[in-house]
């Protein structure tokens, strides 16, 4: 066993390329979407042992001929039909007993998708269901932990990066945008302060149209200005509330 009892001066040690160190490498995918003023998560009900019938993130083994990114993008496309989606790595989970019976390391990435664009037929085929974050079912293994960690990273990201671009539909209202942030931070945000801060970032284009699905008066629709977006973020204060 290398390095185990006393220092081995050789670097790398002689048994560096031992075959019996190989293990399973998986990737699990945290698919987040925003709908009805709630941040939602796509979970899958397993229809095979082990853990048949229980809820789980969807994952896959990483193939020898694909990168980690390709593996998780493959999962995302197979379950939502979407490609070219923002995804970001969170952590890698490799506890000795995280999976019973065999040793498996899992790299987690989360994806932010526009719910109105994904293929709902695929979700059905996979026995998948969207859950609000506050009513998640029990999940197998360490999947709840993976989700908690990812949400923490997402909250940090949301402070600096807007997030709305990835999660909101192309056209959206400011109240909608605000409720997205409320559901990410799990707290109320003053509407006036939110407006002020978002508009001061100068990343939105106001449209003529109104969306009246949420009120009689209707709220003006906006789009992200792709040019200003990105440019105007590094410098400014961000969206911390």
Partner DNA sequence: GCAAAAGTGTTAATCTTACACCCATGT
Partner DNA sequence: ACATGGGTGTAAGATTAACACTTTTGC
Catalytically annotated residue among 49, 69, 70, 125: 125
Please state, in angstroms and rounded to a whole number, the distance separating the CA atoms of residues 68 and 88.
Answer: 11
Q: Which runs of consecutive H residues, i.e. helices, occur in 47-96?
A: 68-80
| Per-residue x/- track, 214-233, its own copies (CB under 8 A) | --------------------
Size of the site for its own copies (CB under 8 A): 54
**Alpha carbons 26 and 60: distance in angstroms, whole number:** 5
Q: Which residue has the tokens 């409320």?
A: 182
Which residues from 51-70 bind its own copies, rule CB under 8 A? Answer: 58, 60-68
Is 166 an annotated catalytic residue? no
Of 237, 178, 240, 154, the C-alpha closest to 202 is: 237
| Residue 74 interacts with, from DNA, its own copies, none (CB under 5-8 Å by kind) | its own copies
What is the distance of C-alpha 73 from the center of its chain? 12
- Contacts to DNA from residues 168-197, by CB under 7 A: 173-175, 190-193, 195-197
| CB 193 within 8 Å of CB 155 | no
Q: Are 110 and 88 in contact (CB under 8 A)?
A: yes
Beta bridge pairs of residue 132: 40
Strand, coil or helix: what is 57? coil
Q: What are the structure tokens assigned to 230, written together?
A: 């990105």
Question: Binding string, 86-125, against its own copies, x = CB under 8 A?
Answer: ---x-xx-xxx-----xx-x-x--------------x--x
Q: Which residue from 51, 91, 131, 220 is in contact with DNA, where contact means CB under 7 A?
A: 220
Question: Among residues 13, 23, 214, 227, which is the contact residue for DNA, using CB under 7 A?
Answer: 214
| C-beta of 24 vs 227, nearer to its own copies | 24
Distance (Å, rounded) from C-alpha 181 to C-alpha 176? Answer: 9
Residues 128-157 that bind its own copies (CB under 8 A): 156
Given the complex with DNA, which of 196 and 231 has the nearer CB atom?
A: 196
Instruction: Give the H or E element holding residue 223.
Output: strand 219-224
Q: Which of residues 105-164 bind DNA (CB under 7 A)?
A: none
Give 44 or 177: the residue with its C-beta nearer to DNA. 177
| Interface with DNA (CB under 7 A) | 173-175, 190-193, 195-197, 212, 214-220, 237, 240-241
Question: Mind telling me the catalytic residues?
Answer: 125
């Amino acid at each position: 066993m290398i390095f185990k009892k006393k220092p081995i001066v050789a670097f790398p040690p002689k048994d560096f390329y031992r075959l019996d160190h190989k293990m399973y490498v998986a990737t699990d995918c945290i698919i987040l979407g925003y709908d009805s003023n709630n941040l939602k998560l796509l979970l899958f009900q397993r229809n095979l042992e082990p853990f048949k019938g229980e809820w789980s993130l969807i994952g896959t083994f990483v193939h020898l001929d694909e990168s980690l990114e390709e593996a998780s993008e493959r999962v995302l496309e197979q379950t939502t039909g979407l490609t070219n989606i923002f995804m970001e790595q969170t952590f890698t989970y490799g506890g000795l007993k995280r999976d019973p019976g065999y040793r498996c390391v899992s790299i987690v990435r989360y994806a932010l998708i526009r719910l109105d664009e994904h293929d709902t037929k695929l979700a059905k085929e996979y026995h998948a269901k969207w859950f609000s974050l506050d009513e998640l079912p029990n999940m197998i293994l360490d999947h709840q932990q993976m989700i908690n960690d990812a949400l923490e990273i997402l909250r940090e990201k949301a402070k600096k990066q807007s997030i709305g671009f990835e999660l909101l539909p192309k056209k959206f209202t400011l109240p909608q945008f605000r409720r997205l942030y409320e559901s990410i931070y799990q707290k109320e945000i003053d509407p006036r302060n939110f407006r002020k801060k978002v508009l001061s970032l100068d990343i939105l284009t106001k449209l003529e149209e109104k969306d009246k699905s949420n009120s009689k008066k209707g709220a003006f629709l906006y789009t992200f200005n792709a040019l200003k977006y990105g440019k105007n973020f590094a410098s400014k204060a961000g969206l911390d509330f």
